[in-house]
Amino acid sequence: MFKFLDHIDLMIDFASTRSNPVILEFGVERGSSTKKFINFAEKNNAKIFSVDINDCSQVSNSKNWQFLQSDDLNINYVIENFGEIEKTGVDLIYIDSYHEDKHVQKLLSLYFKYVKKNGVIFVDDVDSIPFRKKKDIWNSIVYDLTIDAVKEFYYNNTEFCSLKILFDQNENGLAVIHKKNNFGDEPNKIFKIWNYNPIIKIIYPYLRKIAKFFK
C-alpha cells in the first residue's frame, strides 16, 4: 500500500536507503526537522550537519549532529567547518532557510557538486496555493518565485538531475531534485528563462474575449 508521509518522514525514508548517510540541513529554527533527523541518525549511523543564521546550538547535544551558525551562502566557511562534505559528499540536502528565489537558486548552484550520485536535494515551501487561499499576497509571490527558481535550475541541468514537485494539503509543497551525475560534478551556469509580464496574466481573459468577438 502507498505510504503517505510528511515531508521530513519522506526525507528520512530516502535517507534510510543509503549506507551511513550524510545529511546537510539549511535552516534549523526551533529544530523540529533537525530533531527528527538526529533521531534517525542515532539509530542508523548517520551524520547531520545543520546551518542557520541564528544560534540554534541548543537544539541537541547529539554526537551525530554538528551545528554551524552562518549564512548558508558562505560556502567556504561551511566547507571549512564541515570538511567531510568536501571529502566524501552528502546524500541529502534539505533547504528550508531563507525563502527567496535568488537565495535558493544560489544554494542549488553552490552545493549541487557536493551531492553524491543518486543523492537528493529537497527544497521546502514551493506551493503558493495554501497562501493564495488565505489571500496572503506576499507569501504567495515568494513561493511562486521560489518554485520558478527551482525549475529554472532544473531546466538548465536536465542532463544532470530530475525534478519532482510534491503537493499535500497539510504542507506547503516540496521540490525533489534527484542527482544523476557524480559527486564533484559542477552544475551548469544558470541562464535566465524568459517569462511573460505578470500584467498579461491579469488581462489575458479579456484579450481572449476580444479575440473571440472578432472571429
Report the CATH number that the domain containing residue 190 is assigned in CATH. Answer: 3.40.50.150
CA gap 72, 29 in Å, rounded: 14
Flag whether pLDDT at 58 surpasses 50: yes
The answer to the question of residue 1 being in a domain is no
Global pTM reads: 0.91
Q: How many structural domains compose the chain?
A: 1
The answer to the question of residue 132 being in a domain is yes
The answer to the question of residue 2 being in a domain is no
The answer to the question of residue 81 being in a domain is yes
CA gap 60, 66 in Å, rounded: 9
Q: Half-sphere exposure (CA, 13 Å, Cβ side) for 54?
A: 10
The answer to the question of residue 49 being in a domain is yes
The answer to the question of residue 125 being in a domain is yes
pLDDT tens-digit profile of 16-53? 999 999 999 999 999 999 999 999 999 999 999 999 99
205 lies in which domain range?
7-213
Query: What are all long-range contacts of 85-88, with beta carbons under 8 Å and residues at least 24 apart?
Result: 85/22, 85/24, 85/49, 85/114, 86/114, 88/22, 88/116, 88/183
Radius of gyration (C-alpha) of the chain in whole angstroms: 19
Q: Residue 179: which of 129, 132, 115 has the closest Cα?
A: 115
For residue 200, what are the contacts with CB-CB under 8 A and spacing of at least 6?
Answer: none
pLDDT tens-digit profile of 69-119? 999 999 999 999 999 999 999 999 999 999 999 999 999 999 999 999 999
pLDDT tens-digit profile of 148-173? 999 999 999 999 999 999 998 778 99
Is 148 in contact with 128 (CB distance < 8 Å)? no
CA distances from 23 to 30, 40, 65, 81, 117 (A): 18, 11, 10, 15, 14
pLDDT tens-digit profile of 135-145? 999 999 999 99
The answer to the question of residue 58 being in a domain is yes
Estimate to the nearest angstrom the gap between the alpha carbon of 140 and the chain centroid.
17
Q: Residue 24: which of 14, 10, 36, 34 has the closest Cα?
A: 34
